[in-house]
Structure 1
């Protein structure tokens, strides 16, 4: 179970790691076999289905995204939480709004994440 305090701490750490462009710090929150879904993967030609599985594959995707958007900066808008999920609503690239849905395992690590964009 994810408490409200844990959800807020996760969101603060996640946004900070992205804003620092510290990919290893971002990835520290995820299981080795986590699954990430995002329409951006399809736009970048990295996944026909919009889903990648495994930390190494997602690392490659995020490294490419950080290179493509060197001025990447996230602005936290809201954190929503449930029993074992967290949604981070934030401003993303070029001020666009985004929301990420995270599913946590019993060890407090993310095993599945889904990016949503306007």
Structure 2
């Protein structure tokens, strides 16, 4: 299994991630993630999914994102730019409310997202 990924492969994952969210198909989004993936966001506590701001595992991700999608019927992401490293991609995008967000996505050896972090602009 690779210990690093080529920039075009990482960029494709970033574009697939945007397309999956824009499809509003939660299972399509989750298919990009490892079973033991973890996600960190300041939005997690606000939706009642733990004070730490981190959820772990696909079942927890499904519950969190399912709740978020239900509250955001107009959800849409517009890709601004992608940044890559040997094992991660940062997806810089604008959401349906015009907010700019960077999503850091680190991959496991199989090319699935094992760690994500939503980073929101300070306003």
**TM-score, length-normalised on structure 1?**
0.96
Contact conserved, 1:14 with 1:26, CA < 8 A, in 2? yes
1:29 has 2:32 as partner:
yes
- Give, in whole Å, the separation in 1 of the partners of 2:10 and 2:81: 11
1:39 has 2:45 as partner:
no
Q: Which runs of 5+ in 1 are unaligned?
A: none
RMSD after superposition: 0.9
What residue in structure 2 maps to residue 5 of structure 1? 8
Q: Which runs of 5+ in 2 are unaligned?
A: none
Matched residue of 1:2: which SS?
coil
- Give, in whole Å, the separation in 2 of the partners of 1:22 and 1:3: 27
Where in structure 1 do 4 or more consecutive aligned residues deviate above 6 Å?
Answer: none
Q: Please list, as runs of the form range in 1=range in 2, the aligned pairs for 1:93-108 lying within 5 A after superposition.
A: 93-108=96-111
Q: Please list, as runs of the form range in 1=range in 2, the aligned pairs for 1:44-83 lying within 5 A after superposition.
A: 44-83=47-86
What residue in structure 2 maps to residue 91 of structure 1? 94
- Give, in whole Å, the separation in 2 of the partners of 1:42 and 1:117: 15
Q: Deviations over 1:66-89 (max 9, x none)?
A: 110000000000100001011000
Q: Deviations over 1:5-61 (max 9, x none)?
A: 111111111111101101111111111011110000012221100000000001110
Matched residue of 1:41: which SS?
helix
